[in-house]
Amino acid sequence: MDLIEILQSQLSDDMLGQISQQIGADKEQTAVAANGVFATLVGGLANNASSESGLASLGAALDRDHDGSMLDDLMGMVGGMMQGGDTAAAPSALNGAGILGHILGDRQEVAAQQISQSSGLNMGQIMKLLPILAPIVMSVLGRAKSSGGLDLGGLANILMGSAQNAQSGGFGDLIGSVLGGVIGGGQQQQQPQQQQSGGDLFGQILGGIFGGKR
């Protein structure tokens, strides 16, 4: 069980229906697009976590704004985001636009274009979907960190491993086009043994925290 599987499990049929209505798409296409969004955001977070400063900033953001408690009422959280008009005035945990800025920076439209091509939704629909799903990613990651007792190294390994799994599982072109092939290079190649030996452990941690969540 990796992070992207956990994220996919958060989207119940009812929630997919709610989100689909909001963006004007059918549930099947929304589910495909959501998988692309999750893979892209996990790849972006892994890229950020590949540097010490980026990892420290991510850890601080999780500790400050994303403890995962909003997952206890995910329908309410998503509904509140979709009804809110001024995202700049939203709490940091719900400010999808702000979260996207930190994760993807100026690559948001590139990501939306790639996800659009793979899902069949148009750019406008994807740009509506991205800020809805971004807080879910941070909430899941925050809960994994707090409930699993993960340090920054463990957090980085979960992100790197999940991004690599996404690449090999059919999202390689998507992640590569958004991040310029960053994932799979640099710091990740410096720690292969640590990631492989820790993979099962972190999978068990995630499964223990989220295993019954559907």
Domain count, the chain: 1
- What DSSP line would sit under 152-207, residue for residue? HHHHHHHHHHHHHHHIIIIIHHHHHHHHTT-TTSTHHHH-HHHHHHHHHHHHHHHH
Q: What does the block give as tokens for 2? A: 């990796």
| 198 occurs within a structural domain | yes
Each residue of 87-109: pLDDT tens digit? Answer: 444 577 888 999 999 999 988 99
> What's the chain's average pLDDT?
82
Q: What does the block give as tokens for 149? A: 């007792």
Q: What does the block give as tokens for 155? A: 């957090």
| 213 occurs within a structural domain | no
Q: Which domain holds residue 148?
A: 3-207
| 214 occurs within a structural domain | no
Enumerate residue ranges in the chain where pLDDT < 70.
1, 84-90, 178-214
CA-to-CA distance for 23 and 130, rounded, in angstroms? Answer: 10
pTM of the model: 0.84
